[in-house]
Amino acid sequence: MKRANQNIEGGKDTAAARYMRKRIQCPKCKCRIIDTSLSTVAEIRILSANAELRADFYVKCNNCNTELAIKKLG
Ligand SMILES: [Zn+2]
């Protein structure tokens, strides 16, 4: 069992090294929401009921359930 777990973690490390990524964090709880490529510039905001926010992605934080809007700037 221990060996199997080590193999899975080793695979993750290899993938992370191959695809360089930037972490986007939840503005509220600092939990990781999504990864983007290094060349992507994104803005993340907390989505409130009365905010008219145009965004490219809408996600809910798995940790604190906050609705977030992600806008791709470049
Ligand atoms: Zn959160």
Distance 1 CA to ligand 1 centre (A): 32
Cα end-to-end span (Å), the chain: 44
Query: How many CA atoms within 13 Å lie on the side-chain side of 47?
Result: 17
Distance 58 CA to ligand 1 centre (A): 13
CA distances in angstroms from 1 to 13, 15, 37, 66, listed in the order given: 19, 22, 33, 36
pTM for the full model? 0.68
Distance 32 CA to ligand 1 centre (A): 8
pLDDT digits (tens, 9 = 90+) for 42-55: 999 998 876 667 89
The total of structural domains in the chain comes to 1
**Dist. CA 31–CA 49, nearest whole Å:** 22
Residue 48's pLDDT is what? 81
- Assess contact for 20 and 38: CB atoms under 8 A: yes
- For the beta carbon of residue 58, count every other beta carbon within 10 angstroms: 11
Distance 63 CA to ligand 1 centre (A): 5
Parent domain of 54: 2-72
Residue 53's pLDDT is what? 73
Residue 7's pLDDT is what? 45
Distance 31 CA to ligand 1 centre (A): 5
Q: What is the percent of the chain with per-residue pLDDT over 90, rounded to a whole number?
A: 58
Higher per-residue confidence, 69 vs 13: 69
Q: How confident is the model at residue 69 (pLDDT cuts 50, 70, 90)?
A: very high
